[in-house]
Structure 1
Amino acid sequence: MAAAALGGLRPGEVAPPAVQPPCASDEGAGRIGAGRVIARPYVIPGGGSNPIGALGYVGCGLEIMQQAYELGLNVDAVFHGTGSAGTQAGLVAAFEGAQSGIPVEGISVRAPEAPQVANVLKLANEAAALLGLSTRIEAPAVRVDDRHVGAGYGQPTPGMIEAVTLLARKEGILLDPVYSGKGMAGLIAQVREGRYRPGQSIVFVHTGGSAALFGYRSVF
C-alpha cells in the first residue's frame, strides 16, 4: 500500500555509505541488492541500535523512575542483557540525564567489556544529544559484566540454564536463552558475590524473546 521496497544485505556485508542511517532525504539515495535503486532508504541496524532506536529505552528508564517514585521505592540497580547496545544506552541516557544515581548493570551476551562499554557510551551520548540534553555521559556510568557470554552469542551457559529454569519454576516467568537468561544469570551471580544485599531493590528488565526457548529444546 505504501509502495515501499525492502532490501537486504548478505551476512557480513556492509551497506554503502550512501545508505547508512540517517537517510531522511533524497541525498541519502543509494543501491541495495541487485542494482535496485532505493530513493529514500532507511537502514535499520542490528537490534535497532541507533540514536533513534535507543530512545525507546530512554522511555523505559523514565517509566522506571516514575513508577519507583509513585511506589516510594529506592532503586539500587537495573539489570539487563546487553548486546547491540541500544537498550543499555537508552537506560543510561535516561538515568544520567535525570541525575538519578541509578546504576545500569549490563550483562554482556556477546562482546568483551571494553568494546561493549565503548559502544554503549557512544550511543548513549548520541541519544542524549538527540534529546537536547546538556549531560555528557562518561565511561564510569557504563557498567558491563562480560563473564556470562560463554562460548559466544546465543550459546548456552550453565548460569543461563540455571537462571531460566529457576525463574520458570519459582516465578512462572519465561526468560529467553540469548538475552534475559544471561542477564538474570549475571544478576544472580552478583548477588551471590555480595555486590547486592538482601533488602536492596533491584529492577530486572525482561526484554522478551522467550519464544526462542523452542530452539533450545535439547538444553531444557
Structure 2
Amino acid sequence: MDDDIEVILQDRRAGLPQQHLDNPTFTACTGALLLGIYRLWTVFALPGFRKVPVNLKVPYLPSSKTQTQNVMKVLRGRRGCLADLGSGNGRLVFAAASAGLRCTGFEINSILTASARTRAWWRGLPACSVSFVSRDFWKTDLSDFNNVTVFLAPGVMDVLGEKLLRELHDEARVIACRFPFPGWPCSTSEGQGLDQVWAYDMRVVRDHLLQAPTLLPKAQTQ
C-alpha cells in the first residue's frame, strides 16, 4: 500500500507548481486525503474478507441502475425465491422484491448488510419478502432458490458455476451481471457493455454440458 501511495503522490507532483509541493500544509492535507480514502476503502471492502479464501475474494462494486433494470427484464415472469450473491447495498434485492420474488441477499460485509437491513426497515418491507444475511454464500447450500443473481469477478465464475451445478435444480435460472459464465449456453441476454446481463436456465446448461462431461462437476457425471 505504501508503494501505491508513493506512485499517486509522484503523479500528483508532476502536475503541481513547486511552491505547492514545498508547502507543509499542502503536504499534510494530501497525506490526510490519501489516508482517508484508504480507510474508507477498508471499511467497505475488507470486513469479512479474512473469512473467504484468497482465490474467492471479490471487492464490493454496486450495480448500476441500468444493470438492475436489465436483470429485472430477464427475471420477468419468474416466481419463487431469489438469492443475490454479494448483495452489497441491496439495490437488486429491492427491485426483485417489488416484482413479487422472495429475496435473500448474501453479503459477507457486515457494514453493507446492516445498511441494507436499515433500508428495508425504512421501506417497511416484511422479513418474509426481503432478508439480508451476513453469511458466506460459498459455504451455503443454495438448493432452495430457483433464481440466483450474481455480480462477481470473472476469476471466480468457473468455481461458482461448479457450485451452482451441484446445488440448483433444473428449473432454476441464474443471472450473471457484466461477466458471463465460461462455457455456459445463455438462454437470453439484455443490455450491452458494462451493463449487460446473461440469463442461464439450469436444465439447458446441464443438457449442454452433458455433451462434454469433463466440464461437469464430479457429482454430475457419476
What TM-score comes out, normalization by structure 2 length? 0.37
What TM-score comes out, normalization by structure 1 length? 0.37
Larger Rg: 2
Bigger fraction of residues in helix: 2
